[in-house]
Amino acid sequence: MNRRKSSAAAPKRYALILAAGKGKRMKSNLAKVLHPLCGRPLLLHVLNTLQAREFQKKFVVVGHQSARIRELISGDDIEFIEQNQQLGTGHAVRTASAQLKGLSGSLLLLYGDTPLIQSSTLERLMRARERNNAELALITASIENPSGYGRVIRTPEQAILRIVEEKDATPEERRIQEVNPGIYCFDLRSLLSGLSRLSSKNAAGEYYLTDLVEIFTRAGKKVITLPVETAREVMGINSRVELADAELFLRARINQKWMANGVTILDPATVLIDDTVEIKRDSVIYPGVLLEGATRIGSRCIIRSYCHIQDSILDSDVVVDHASVVRHSRVGKHSRIGPFAHLRQNSIIGEHARIGNFVETKAARVDTGSKASHLTYLGDAEVGKRVNIGAGTITCNYDGKRKNKTVIEDDVFIGSNTQLVAPVTIHKGSYVAAGSSVTEDVPPHSLAIARSRQVVKEGWVREKNKNANHKDQGATSERSSKK
């Protein structure tokens, strides 16, 4: 009887993210890792990348604005380590040594400001260390302008020898274009034994984690490198210029992803889609569109130029016409919004509805088949099915102290230039005459007229003109007599 050989147990893996620094070159009151990139803070991009891989635990070293970082990323699988003094990367890892002591396996170590790193690259790095039984595997990249990065020093046989930080490098070493982006995979036990040998005798007076490369190689331990083809993927964000550069790169990647998934983007260079947005296939995005936050776009939607949609849900077959704004709202199937419409927070638009030109809604529920086609404000309103709201209608929802609700039931017709003074209810099947100011409830199937009676004075204009002519003639005669 043949027995199937059991596969080797998967190696234990841990992740350590360094996120304690202030980021002086950002010139900001906000910690660097909290700066947003395509809808997420930098640190969240890194953590989301790690979600695609299995780790026994993730450790995050925090320092500057640690309370805000803890609030942002708290979770069962994250353990925080406080670094009160920032004395270099080696010091940051030393700070974590108490939590790492006694663990074995692989430790993936990276910075919280490397948001473009891809999960597949990290997997390749960890596998390279594990398959080669190396004490350390690190990513390297070749860039035209290596300023600010540690240079990779190799032997004549191209084996890695050490990493020299720019402050300590000679002019010849500074010309080297292969750099260390700071993404490592360590054998945990080797890392912990090597930390005690780090020294701060360098130009910065800091403990460099990169010194472990030379410490390991001198001790005969195995150190390997993983060069990456796209250097930008592994670069850290240290300035506003680099943040903007990363934004362009990531937005292009996001747009390419959605086009590959069946979304038409007519001009990708002008369309900005956050990393948090979801879009279903066969939707069409026109130039100049901005999609932000937790926005969800259904199938076969059309978003025309210069629309801004934030934290909103569009069901399938919705059209959002030119220059419309939709925030914190939901739009049902086969409905049409705009052009120049503004859906503010907590607006819920039903199926087959119409919110047209220069219509604004706020905390309004508009049910199936209803329409407000132009020049209307619906605030704190509940609109039933098959309601027609004429141009210039206003729900007067604020009495100076509190917001009040307007209820318009099914099959109501609201004439143009109507003011509905809340709290008020227009019951089912009623008509409100154009130009009315409605302050009382309207019973079902009734006609409400709330305006002054029209008065017509026949011949009034001729009489007015006749009187004006008499006055002009009198004035002329008076001027002539004075002469």
Q: What is the 3-state secondary structure (H, E, C) of 259-310?
A: HHCCCEECCHHHCEECCCCEECCCCEECCCCEEECCCEECCCCEECCCCEEE
Helix residue ranges, H only, 152-208: 171-174, 188-195
The pLDDT value recorded for residue 271 is: 98
Which residue numbers are catalytic? 374
Domain assignment of residue 456, yes or no: no
Domain assignment of residue 37, yes or no: yes
CB atoms under 10 Å from CB of 143, counted, come to 15
The pLDDT value recorded for residue 348 is: 98
What is residue 64's DSSP assignment?
T
pLDDT at residue 408 greater than cutoff 50? yes
CATH of the domain at 247: 2.160.10.10
Measured distance CA(50)–CA(121) in Å, rounded: 11
Looking at the structure, tell me whether residues 248 and 153 fall in a common domain.
no
Looking at the structure, tell me whether residues 367 and 400 fall in a common domain.
yes
Residue range 292-318: mean pLDDT, rounded: 98
Closest by alpha carbon to 61, among 19, 90, 99, 24? 19
The pLDDT value recorded for residue 87 is: 86
Q: How far is CA 392 from CA 403, 416, 425, in A?
A: 20, 6, 19
The pLDDT value recorded for residue 6 is: 41
Q: Of 188, 218, 234, which residue sits at a domain end?
A: 234
Measured distance CA(204)–CA(89) in Å, rounded: 12
Is the separation of the CB atoms in 265 and 176 below 8 Å? Answer: no
Looking at the structure, tell me whether residues 397 and 320 fall in a common domain.
yes
- Residue-wise pLDDT tens digits, 1-39: 444 444 456 789 999 999 998 888 999 999 999 999 999
Q: Of 208, 234, 260, which residue sits at a domain end?
A: 234
Measured distance CA(24)–CA(347) in Å, rounded: 42
Measured distance CA(461)–CA(468) in Å, rounded: 11
- Residue-wise pLDDT tens digits, 419-462: 999 999 999 999 999 999 999 999 999 999 999 888 999 999 99
Looking at the structure, tell me whether residues 212 and 327 fall in a common domain.
no
Mean pLDDT of the chain: 93
Looking at the structure, tell me whether residues 164 and 301 fall in a common domain.
no
The pLDDT value recorded for residue 483 is: 55
Looking at the structure, tell me whether residues 129 and 226 fall in a common domain.
yes
- Residue-wise pLDDT tens digits, 228-271: 988 999 999 999 999 999 999 999 999 999 999 999 999 999 99
Q: Torsion angle, CA of 465/467/468/471, rounded to 10 degrees?
A: 160
Is the separation of the CB atoms in 132 and 222 below 8 Å? Answer: yes
Measured distance CA(378)–CA(393) in Å, rounded: 8
Is the separation of the CB atoms in 99 and 26 below 8 Å? Answer: no
Domain assignment of residue 476, yes or no: no
Percentage of the residues of the chain whose pLDDT score is greater than 90: 85
Measured distance CA(375)–CA(255) in Å, rounded: 35
pLDDT at residue 478 greater than cutoff 70? no
Looking at the structure, tell me whether residues 186 and 56 fall in a common domain.
yes
Domain assignment of residue 7, yes or no: no
Looking at the structure, tell me whether residues 216 and 355 fall in a common domain.
no
The pLDDT value recorded for residue 2 is: 46
Q: Which domain holds residue 203?
A: 13-234
CA 466 to mean position of chain CA atoms: 69
Q: Of 234, 259, 280, which residue sits at a domain end?
A: 234
Extract long-range pairs of 221-224: CB within 8 Å, 24+ residues apart. Answer: 221/134, 221/135, 221/136, 221/190, 222/132, 222/133, 222/134, 222/135, 222/136, 223/134, 223/135, 223/136, 223/137, 223/138, 223/160, 224/128, 224/129, 224/132, 224/134, 224/136, 224/137, 224/138, 224/160
More confident residue, 74 or 371: 371
Domain assignment of residue 474, yes or no: no
Helix axes 211-218, 188-195, angle to 10 degrees: 100
CATH of the domain at 189: 3.90.550.10
Q: Give the H or E element holding residue 184.
A: strand 184-187
Q: How far is CA 67 from CA 34, 44, 72, in A?
A: 12, 15, 9
Please state which of the ranges 4-13, 95-104, 328-337 shows the lowest mean pLDDT: 4-13
Looking at the structure, tell me whether residues 280 and 414 fall in a common domain.
yes
Looking at the structure, tell me whether residues 64 and 196 fall in a common domain.
yes
Domain assignment of residue 460, yes or no: no
Domain assignment of residue 124, yes or no: yes
Is the separation of the CB atoms in 32 and 23 below 8 Å? Answer: yes
Looking at the structure, tell me whether residues 227 and 250 fall in a common domain.
no
Domain assignment of residue 468, yes or no: no
Looking at the structure, tell me whether residues 212 and 264 fall in a common domain.
no
Domain total in the chain? 2
